């Protein structure tokens, strides 16, 4: 009998035995539970089956090898036999499979429990951060038709350097000088782009360029930023518990961050009413603040912030008035058809004749380096003509 066959045939019995004992599923206990089933297994078979069962019971099951691959950024499960990965070149179907739909559901529920979240028929979806930092999202049937859908986004333990981003093609040759000058000039900026374009990756890298004597305070719904910096304070929101108490919103975090003497206030993703606190903070002496925002283009960022501000009770004129004084630059990222993530454009923010903030293109992507646009003189003025 192969290890895989043994694991498949004994999984339910061993899971039940360990659940009844209440013991942690250590390798020794899993092996003991296997032998207690009365099957004649050799040492090699027991060790192989024990490892498979350990992955099923405490790891990420069949997904463990994928998540251990340093090139993998996303793992997506849409059916027991449809497991996809993104290694930076777009989604690719893998040969990894689950035994059945129930196996996918069990894994999703166990991961949710590990993150302190509930996932069941009464609450059929969850968005959470696992203990190792991995971002998890899951939806159970019947909301997800056919099978539990599981999405895992890997958060690497260290930030890339600017040199690595240039080598990867995210930043064009010579572009690192512009980005470094932007940080040194203490300009407030937003990194915009769609889902999976590398906004968090770039922002983590840029925060690593902040002076070592400055204090960075991060406010995030889910802690994903990993700046290589000696003085970082991390604040993370949390959902309400089953009784509806304990909710901590990003808006709450921004308010608390302002009382923590930040040299740089960072909002991981501006996507709600916290936009009002962020803009107010950046207008009260907090230079160099930054964050990310979802937008199709840099030109769409003011409209995106308008929508968020309106939902928070801030009218259009007031938002643009604060925006004009609070933010200076938008760095926009895209993901090409081949999956490559790159800085597509850099815009400066200016006011038009009607007093509204409009992004003006200063630089755009070029294979040999940033191509100059009409807003470049203003960008040079903002960074003190450092280039």
Q: Does one domain contain both 274 and 360?
A: yes
Task: Return all residues near 68 (Cβ < 8 A) that are at least 6 apart.
Answer: none
Co-location of 229 and 335 in the same domain: yes
* Count of helices and strands (H, E) across the chain: 13, 15
Question: pTM score, two decimals?
Answer: 0.81
Task: Please indicate, yes or no, whether residues 129 and 8 belong to a single structural domain of this protein.
Answer: no
Counting the structural domains of the chain, the total is: 3
Alpha-carbon distance 82 to 75, whole Å?
11
Average pLDDT over residues 63-81: 92
Domain shared by 168 and 264, yes or no: yes
**Domain CATH code at residue 124:** 3.30.450.370
Is the pLDDT at 257 greater than 70? The verdict is yes
- CATH number of the domain encompassing residue 233: 3.40.50.300
Whether residue 339 has pLDDT greater than 50: yes
How much of the chain exceeds pLDDT 90, in percent?
53
Quick one: pLDDT at residue 210? 96
Determine the structural domain holding residue 247 and report its residue range: 162-383
266 and 361 housed in the same domain: yes
Task: Supply the pLDDT for residue 40.
Answer: 52
* Chosen domain end from 153, 173, 203: 153
Last residue in a domain, options 103, 118, 153: 153
pLDDT tens sequence across 112-123: 988 888 899 999
Shared domain check, 340 and 270: yes
Tell whether 224 and 341 lie within a shared domain.
Answer: yes
Closest to 264 measured CA to CA, from 283, 284, 290:
290
Note whether 138 and 29 are same-domain residues: no
Domain boundary among 58, 82, 99: 58
131 and 18 in a common domain: no
Give the mean model confidence (pLDDT) for residues 42-70: 71
DSSP 21: H
Stretch (H or E) spanning 344: strand 341-351
- Tens digit of each residue's pLDDT (9 = 90 or more) over 273-282: 888 888 888 8
């Amino acid at each position: 009998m192969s290890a895989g066959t043994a694991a498949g045939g004994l999984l339910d019995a061993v899971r039940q035995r360990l659940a009844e004992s209440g013991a942690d599923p250590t390798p020794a206990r899993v092996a003991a539970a296997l032998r207690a089933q009365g099957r004649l297994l050799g040492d090699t078979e027991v060790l192989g089956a024990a490892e498979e069962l350990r992955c099923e019971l405490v790891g990420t099951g069949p997904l463990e090898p994928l998540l251990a691959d340093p090139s993998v950024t996303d793992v997506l499960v849409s059916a027991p036999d449809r497991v996809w990965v993104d290694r930076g070149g777009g989604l690719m179907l893998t040969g990894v499979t689950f035994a059945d739909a129930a196996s996918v559901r069990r894994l999703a529920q166990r991961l949710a429990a590990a993150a302190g979240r509930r996932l069941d028929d009464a609450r059929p979806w969850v968005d959470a951060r696992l203990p190792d930092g991995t971002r998890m999202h899951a939806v159970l049937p019947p909301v997800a038709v056919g099978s539990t859908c599981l999405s895992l986004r890997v958060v690497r333990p260290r930030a890339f350097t600017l040199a690595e981003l240039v080598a990867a093609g995210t930043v064009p040759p010579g572009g690192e000088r512009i980005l470094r000058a932007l940080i040194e000039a203490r300009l407030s900026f937003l990194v915009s782009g769609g889902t999976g374009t590398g906004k968090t990756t770039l922002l983590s890298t840029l925060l690593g360029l902040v002076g070592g004597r400055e204090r960075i305070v991060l406010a995030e719904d889910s802690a994903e930023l990993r700046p290589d910096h000696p003085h970082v304070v991390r604040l993370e929101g949390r959902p309400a518990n089953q009784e509806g108490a304990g909710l901590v919103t990003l808006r709450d975090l921004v308010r608390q961050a302002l009382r923590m003497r930040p040299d740089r206030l960072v909002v991981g993703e501006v996507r709600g009413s916290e936009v009002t606190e962020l803009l107010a903070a950046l207008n009260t002496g907090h230079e160099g603040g930054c964050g990310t925002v979802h937008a199709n283009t840099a030109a769409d960022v003011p409209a995106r912030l308008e929508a968020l501000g309106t939902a928070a009770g801030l009218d259009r004129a007031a938002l643009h008035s604060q925006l004009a004084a609070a933010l200076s630059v938008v760095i926009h990222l895209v993901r090409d058809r081949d999956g490559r993530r790159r800085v597509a454009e850099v815009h400066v923010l200016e006011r038009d004749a009607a007093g509204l903030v409009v992004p003006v293109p200063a630089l755009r992507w070029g294979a040999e380096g940033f191509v100059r646009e009409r807003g470049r003189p203003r960008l040079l003025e903002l960074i003190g003509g450092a280039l």
